[in-house]
Amino acid sequence: MTAIRHMFLGMMALFVLAGASGQNVEPTALPVGSATVAEWKGEVALHSAQGDAMSAQRGTVLAAESKIDTTKGSVLLDLQDGSQVLVKPNSHVVIKAPNQDQGYWLELLLGKINATIQKRLGNTPSFRMGTPTAVITVRGTRFSVEVNKKQKTSVEVFEGFVEVGGFGQGPPVTLRPGFSTGVEQNRNPEPPRGMDNRGDREDENRIKPGIGNVGGRGEEDRQKPGSQSGPPSQQRPDQDHERDE
């Protein structure tokens, strides 16, 4: 009888363990200021805050102070607040924690990004990002920011409103859709001006809420597990990067 009882208890323990292993595990919340690689293409170098090289693959989590360098590649980031940022070729970006230092989500030191920012409601702090010559503040919009080799910052707005401040003594300017501005070192932002019809204006459609790909074509073009590069794209990011001014 004792042997049968021990066998019965052992079987019950196995059933309990099997049931526990089948339960859904709650996803771990990402740290504030972190970003996740959603898609990537071409040559992309990622480094942790400690300077260690990281693999560029979908799902890689980048903590605050991680660095992104693109040469002939591009990478789409999902930020911790649900926003998306497309880092274009020949760019250098640093992920930041908005609850530290200057309150930035990221810094663009060179190159170009396209961003779709989650709308801020109520008292939720605005999204802020920095460049060597400007501070960009938004509460939910679509826009692009470019920093050329002379560190001039150019901002274009496709949706919503964006506030752009420089490091001069004057006030910031507010851009509405279809307008842009430029900011040089230690200067105030230039007066808003209408954007021209350049061929690469279609970049604004690459990131839309709920679409997580670099080329903007759909789920079928996403990177397959085990492949050595990101998803194919009809609109090649490495061809439409703007010229340095």
CA distances from 54 to 20, 43, 231 (A): 33, 13, 19
| C-beta of residue 36 within 8 angstroms of C-beta of residue 30 | yes
Q: What local confidence, expressed as pLDDT, does residue 113 receive?
A: 98
Q: What is the C-alpha to C-alpha distance for residues 64 and 34, in angstroms, rounded to an integer?
A: 6
Work out the number of other CB atoms within 10 angstroms of the CB of residue 77.
26
Widest CA span of the chain, in angstroms?
Answer: 91
Q: What is the mean pLDDT of residues 42-49?
A: 95
Q: What is the mean pLDDT of residues 158-178?
A: 95
More confident residue, 9 or 126: 126
Q: What local confidence, expressed as pLDDT, does residue 180 receive?
A: 97
The token pair that represents 234 in the structure block: 């009809």
Q: What local confidence, expressed as pLDDT, does residue 101 receive?
A: 86
Q: What local confidence, expressed as pLDDT, does residue 121 receive?
A: 86
Q: What local confidence, expressed as pLDDT, does residue 4 receive?
A: 52
Q: What is the C-alpha to C-alpha distance for residues 167 and 145, in angstroms, rounded to an integer?
A: 17
pLDDT at 196 over 50: yes
The token pair that represents 117 in the structure block: 């920012």
Per-residue confidence band for 32, with pLDDT thresholds at 50, 70 and 90? confident
pTM: 0.72
Dump the DSSP string for 154-190. EEEEEES-EEEE-SSSSPPEEE-TTEEEEE-TT-PPP
CATH architecture classification, 117-196: Sandwich (2.60)
Asked which of 20-34, 105-119, 144-158, 192-206 is least confident by mean pLDDT, the reply is 20-34
Average pLDDT, the chain: 78
Radius of gyration of the chain (CA): 22
Q: What is the C-alpha to C-alpha distance for residues 118 and 233, in angstroms, rounded to an integer?
A: 25
pLDDT tens, position by position, 217-232: 333 344 444 444 444 3
Extents of the domains making up the chain: 29-108, 117-196
pLDDT tens, position by position, 75-133: 999 998 899 999 999 999 999 999 988 999 999 999 999 999 999 888 889 999 999 99
The token pair that represents 137 in the structure block: 């503040």
Work out the number of other CB atoms within 10 angstroms of the CB of residue 123.
5
**Percent of the chain having pLDDT more than 70?**
68
Which positions ≥6 away from 87 have C-beta within 8 Å?
A: 68, 70, 74, 75, 76, 77, 93, 111, 113
